[in-house]
Structure 1
Amino acid sequence: MADLDEALLDDADRLAAADPSSVLRALAGAGAQVRRALELVDESPAARWGREDRPRAVVVAARGGATVVAGALEALAGQRAAVPVVARTGAALPAWVGALDLVVAVSLSGRAEATVALAAEAGRRGARLLTVGAAGSPLEAACAMGRGVHVPLPEPGREATSAPTSRTALWSLLTPALCVTSSLGVLAPLGDASAAEALAEVATALDAEAEACRPGSETFVNPAKALALDLAADVPVLLGDGDLAGVAARRAASVLARTARVPAVHGRLPDDAGDVVATFGGPFAAAAEDDLFDDPFAAAAEDDLFDDPFLDGPSRSRLRLVLLREGTAGASAAVLRLAERSGVRTSEVVADAGGPLARFAQLVARTDFAAAYLALATGLDPATSPHVAELRDALG
């Protein structure tokens, strides 16, 4: 990894100068995104949908960074959902989708071809259609053709210096989908709380996280800056303890790649525990598997600070297990103990306040800020992904 300028993290003025696109400011406005998106839903015809309009099934169409919307809805629905919730990333609807079903299509730009095509097909089949994306976009046009309801994205504030991305405008996309599907009685895990109450709690949690992770907060008390330092020299393996935390882990891996250019493996516990702990005895862990049970303390030995990189070779990248969890540790406790015994570095991101949506918001916000700080400290612009843009152009 490029040299890390740790001093920059504790200098708010230098951070602002290194962030010309104001990514940190955009992330700090996540709570405001929720509130404005709720207003836009209230102003749309979808505000009149209620439990008596509950569909037979819900299909959520999203691509790229917007797939977290589909993942969050699937995870919140879970096994207790009143109706099935199915995510689709391609342009083909399941054959069974028809007039009794709801299709939710989300695209920040409103130009994602697969999402627009799926929305158009839903309209042709007579399915109820909800779209979320830019005003005046092809997605809105497809929604109008299908006699659906389009919720436009909030206009960027005057202080915005760059176009929003799915990394900085997530809650503008996710809030309408959560609000409408909850009002329809699809998301049972929200319990007695209404969609508006649950999302108001989310906005408050996002505001609190933005305050804790603000640029002017020193690294030793700023959880996002501390996490960025943890991730600076290691190979991150992100594990979410549970369904929603698993979605947050996947989102974090995507944000680390696109924002900080750091590759990361992600998974969900307990399903992916075996694949992860198997690597604890491999070349990226501190100790060989044969030695693990002979001398567990030897496994914790760190690289020698006095090694000469020219004579001894560069320091070896090592695993960093990052556990994302809500409240009390479940399957993650056993994985954490084994990682520590194996000499694998560990970090934890714990959300323990509020309902499931608020806890999910905390996990997402913490890792979003950490990725942005990591990018800035290594001299990268967190708002751009040049190779992604080149690939998009090449694929047309």
Structure 2
Amino acid sequence: MLDESLLDDPEALARADRRGLLRGAAEAGARVRTAARHAAEAGVTDLEPEGRPRAVLVAGPGTASTGVADLVGSLAGASAPVVHLHSTGVAPAAGALRWALPGWCGSVDLLLIATTDGSEAGLAVLAEQAYRRGVTVVAVAPQRSPLSEAVDGRHGLVVPMATAPHDLYDEEGQAASPGTLWALFTPLLVLLDRVGLITAPADTLQKVADRLDDIAERCGPAVATYSNPAKTLASELADTMPLVWTEGTAAAPVGRRFAAVLAELAGRPALAGELPEALPAHGVLLAGDLAGGADPDDFFRDRVEEAQALRARVVLLRDRPAGGLTAAPAARELALSHDTAISELEPQEGTELEALAELLAVTDFAAVYLALATGADA
């Protein structure tokens, strides 16, 4: 059950936030600025590429690294194929994850490694394999980590991950702070801008950092629920199964990340899908027991001793419409025709990266508030 009184009690939220998740979300703008500076100091802005890579491969464990791979793939679009490398299993002897390059990789390809830990032996082996095959390697990892030492210099370029003194890590070694995503993602934005796959100049990254700061003010613990979009969304998702429907290039990876973060931080199952494909794919759920009006038994029976029934709630994440067709009206009609409530988020005007940053920030804050108010972070 959601403790709504906790949402409007900043001191109680601070006591419940044992892993510093709210502080990590609030520091996302600062992480962007620090990470951009680290990328420049590492020499990324001085690179003189001889053309675009044929393909970009992204590797790394955990929700943050998976989110980075998804975001890179969405932003690069048709400029170059982006392949997210998944671990191929666990090495019997070392007990470490194994990674492998596709057979077609060669000197015209780019491997990006993003990790909050840096001690994964399998990633160091992957970097060595890439070096032997002539693949360019760029890694974002904690400074003085085994991976940084393995890659730096001879095997590729390393950008130290932007960390904070109070960063906390869970038992699997992954950073708990939502701001970690930007610490890993920002240096790769600088690099991909340099090689011509996306447009992310310094002034755009500054706007992204400013937008993240603005959302941190609007969604902070001291802002009451009625005027706080993240707290409002968290309270709306209580006792529901979120169906996260997205429309637009920036919204799609945000929706998938939101579903993953809800599971990881709040222990809440969620499904993400892109419009219009999500309508037939998830429509059957709205017509079943998850529908808002589904209650086959007597409405007047005593429910005091019963657990709250889980109902679906649609969360519609959209880029700002740029003209053309939209499936949003059909999504609203489908949800309301099945008595299913719907929450909507749409970013303010700005660049594609600013829109992405705003949606990421609000949904990250919402997941944290839901975790704290339901005791999932205890």
Report TM bin, short chain. Answer: 0.7 to 0.9
Structure 1 partner of 2:244: 238
State whether structure 2 residue 108 is matched by structure 1 residue 100.
yes
Structure 1 partner of 2:82: 85
Structure 2: distance between partners of 1:57 and 1:314 = 50
Structure 2 partner of 1:387: none
Determine which structure has the larger helix proportion and give its number.
1
Structure 1: distance between partners of 2:86 and 2:46 = 28
Structure 2: distance between partners of 1:144 and 1:272 = 43
SS in 2 for 1:206: helix
Structure 2 partner of 1:44: 42
Find the partner of 1:309 among 273, 296, 303.
Answer: 303
Structure 1 stretch 355-364 or stretch 143-152: which is displaced more?
A: 143-152
Structure 1 partner of 2:72: 73
**Contact 1:50–1:185 (CA under 8 A) maintained in structure 2:** no
Structure 2: distance between partners of 1:326 and 1:50 = 33
| Structure 1 gap segments, 5+ residues each | 289-298, 383-396
Structure 1 partner of 2:127: 119
SS in 1 for 2:346: strand
Q: 1:20 to 1:358 in 2, by over 3 A?
A: same
**Contact 2:107–2:135 (CA under 8 A) maintained in structure 1:** yes
**Contact 2:118–2:148 (CA under 8 A) maintained in structure 1:** yes
State whether structure 2 residue 210 is matched by structure 1 residue 210.
no
Aligned residue type for 2:342: T
Structure 2 partner of 1:55: 53
Q: 1:50 to 1:331 in 2, by over 3 A?
A: farther
Structure 2: distance between partners of 1:161 and 1:63 = 18
Structure 2: distance between partners of 1:315 and 1:357 = 39
Structure 2: distance between partners of 1:281 and 1:378 = 27
Structure 1 residues 1-396: aligned runs within 5 Å: 3-50=1-48, 52-65=50-63, 66-79=65-78, 81=79, 83-90=80-87, 91-144=99-152, 146-157=154-165, 160=166, 162-163=168-169, 164-165=175-176, 167-187=178-198, 190=199, 194-286=200-292, 307-309=301-303, 313-328=306-321, 330-381=326-377
Structure 2: distance between partners of 1:139 and 1:314 = 47
User: 4+ runs of 1 displaced by more than 4 Å?
Assistant: none
Which deviations, in whole Å up to 9, do the C-alpha atoms of 1:109-150 show, x marking residues without a partner? Answer: 113455443322211212111000111223213313753100
SS in 2 for 1:351: coil
Structure 1 stretch 145-154 or stretch 127-136: which is displaced more?
A: 145-154
Structure 2: distance between partners of 1:129 and 1:232 = 43
Structure 1 partner of 2:93: none
**Contact 1:281–1:287 (CA under 8 A) maintained in structure 2:** no
**Contact 1:123–1:143 (CA under 8 A) maintained in structure 2:** no
Structure 1 stretch 43-52 or stretch 171-180: which is displaced more?
A: 43-52
**Contact 1:236–1:320 (CA under 8 A) maintained in structure 2:** yes
Q: 1:13 to 1:307 in 2, by over 3 A?
A: farther
Question: What is the percent sequence identity of the aligned residues?
Answer: 39
Cα deviation for residue 6 of structure 1 reads 0.7
Structure 2: distance between partners of 1:182 and 1:95 = 27
TM-score by length of 2: 0.88
Q: 1:118 to 1:273 in 2, by over 3 A?
A: farther
Aligned residue type for 2:302: D
**Contact 1:243–1:268 (CA under 8 A) maintained in structure 2:** no
| Structure 2 gap segments, 5+ residues each | 88-98, 170-174
Which deviations, in whole Å up to 9, do the C-alpha atoms of 1:367-393 show, x marking residues without a partner? Answer: 1111111111122327xxxxxxxxxxx
SS in 1 for 2:152: helix
Which deviations, in whole Å up to 9, do the C-alpha atoms of 1:2-53 show, x marking residues without a partner? Answer: x321111111111111113321111100000000000001101222124544
Structure 2: distance between partners of 1:287 and 1:211 = 36
Structure 1 stretch 345-354 or stretch 171-180: which is displaced more?
A: 345-354
**Contact 2:24–2:177 (CA under 8 A) maintained in structure 1:** no
Structure 1: distance between partners of 2:120 and 2:248 = 30
Structure 2 partner of 1:388: none
Which deviations, in whole Å up to 9, do the C-alpha atoms of 1:338-371 show, x marking residues without a partner? Answer: 1112111111121132111111111111111111
Q: 1:113 to 1:230 in 2, by over 3 A?
A: farther
Which deviations, in whole Å up to 9, do the C-alpha atoms of 1:167-204 show, x marking residues without a partner? Answer: 331100000111101111012xx3xxx42122111111
Q: 1:211 to 1:259 in 2, by over 3 A?
A: same
